[in-house]
Structure 1
Amino acid sequence: QAIINSTITPNMTFTKTSQKFGQWADSRANTVYGLGFSSEHHLSKFAEKFQEFKEAARLAKEKSQEKMELTSTPSQESAGGDIQSPLTPESINGTDDERVTPEVTQNSEPRAEPTQNALPFTHSSTISKHWEAELATLKGNNAKLTAALLESTANVKQWKQQLAAYQEEAERLHKRVS
Structure 2
Amino acid sequence: MLTQSDTALIVIDIQGKLARLMDNSDSMISATAILTKAMQTLGIPVLFVEQLPDKLGSTVDELKPLIPAGDAFAKATFSALKTESIEQQLAAINRQQWLVCGIEAHICVYQTVMDLLASGKEVHLVTDGIASRDPLNKQLAISKMHAAGAQLTGVEMAIFELLERADTQAFKAILPLIK
| TM-score for both structures, normalised by structure 1 | 0.22
Structure with higher Rg: it is 1
| TM-score for both structures, normalised by structure 2 | 0.22
Structure with bigger strand share is 2
